[in-house]
Amino acid sequence: MYKKLRTLQTIDESGAVLIVRLESAEVAERVAEAAIAGGFRALEITLSIPGAVDVIRRLAAKHGSTGVAIGAGTVLDEHSAYECIRAGAQFLVSPQLNPAMIRTANRYQVPTISGAYTPTELVNSAEAGADILKLFPTEAGGIPYAKSVLAPLAHLPIMPAGGVTLENVGEWFAAGVAGVGVGSYVTKAWQPDGDFTHVTEAARAFLAAVAEARK
Ligand SMILES: O=C(O)C(=O)C[C@H](O)[C@H](O)COP(=O)(O)O
C-alpha cells in the first residue's frame, strides 16, 4: 500500500490521535512510550516541546515500522514542515490553515491534519488539500457547535481537539466526527505521583471507549 494511505489508515483505525504537548523532551518521550504501550497508534509530538524534532526522530525510528504513526504538531510553516518530514514525521498537524505547510506535506506525500474552526475555514482547508480537518479549539463551542457545523459538512473528515475525555468521547463520535485528538486526559495521567503506568492505563481506557463509541 502507498505510504500516505497507510498512515491515514492507521490514523483512521485508531480513531484517536494522542496530542503530546509537555514541558520537556524527556517527559514527552516517556509519555509517548507509555501511551504506545497502552495501544495508541497515532501520536502527535508538538514543536512547542524543546528538542521536539529529536523526539520525533527517535520515536519515528523506533516505532515507524511497527504500525505506529509518529507525527509533528504545531507545524506553523513550510520550514518546520520540511524539517519534521526530514526527521521522519509521518503526518503533520497545525492549529491553523497554512496552505504552504499543506503544499510542502503533499509534495512529500505526508498527510496533514489542519486546524480550522468556522465552516469557511473548514472548507478552505479541504480545498487547500488537508487530509483531516482538526476542529480546534473545541472547549468553548463543544459538541453542540460540532453538530451544527457537521449538519451541512458531514462529508468532511473532522477531528475535534481540546477537552476530549473518556467521559465525552462517545458523544463526540455520536455527533459525527471521524476521529478525535486527545491530550491532557492521557498525557497528564502520570501526575501528581510521577507514575507513568497511569498513562498506559488512561490510554487503554480511552481507546476502549473510542472502540465502543465506533461500534
Ligand atoms: O497542541 C495541539 O495540537 C492542540 O490541538 C492543542 C491542545 O494540545 C489540544 O487541543 C489538546 O487538548 P486537551 O485534550 O484538552 O489537552
CB–CB of 4/110 below 8 Å? Answer: yes
Task: Using alpha carbons only, give the angle 51, 139, 172 rounded to the nearest 5 degrees.
Answer: 100
Query: Is the CB of 160 within 6 Å of ligand 1?
Result: no
Instruction: Identify the band that residue 115 occupies on the pLDDT scale cut at 50, 70 and 90.
Output: very high
Q: 3-213, what's its fold?
A: TIM Barrel (3.20.20)
Does the pLDDT value for residue 65 go beyond 90? no
| 54-62 average pLDDT score | 98
User: Which atom from ligand 1 is nearest to the alpha carbon of 182?
Assistant: 14
Answer whether 0.95 is exceeded by the pTM: yes
134 catalytic? Reply is: yes
| 133-156 average pLDDT score | 96
| CA of 1 relative to ligand 1 center, distance in Å | 31
Catalytic residue among 23, 134, 139, 171: 134
Q: If you count them, how many residues does the chain have?
A: 215
Ligand 1, atom 10, lies closest to the CA of: 162
Rounded to 5 degrees, φ, ψ at 177 are -75, 155
**What's the pLDDT tens digit per position in 145-188?**
999 999 999 999 999 999 999 999 999 999 999 999 999 999 99
Contacts 24+ apart (CB under 8 A), 78-86: 78/103, 78/104, 80/47, 81/105, 83/53, 84/47, 84/53, 84/56, 85/110
44 catalytic? Reply is: yes
Q: Would you list the domain boundaries of the chain?
A: 3-213
Separation CA 7–CA 27 (nearest Å): 25
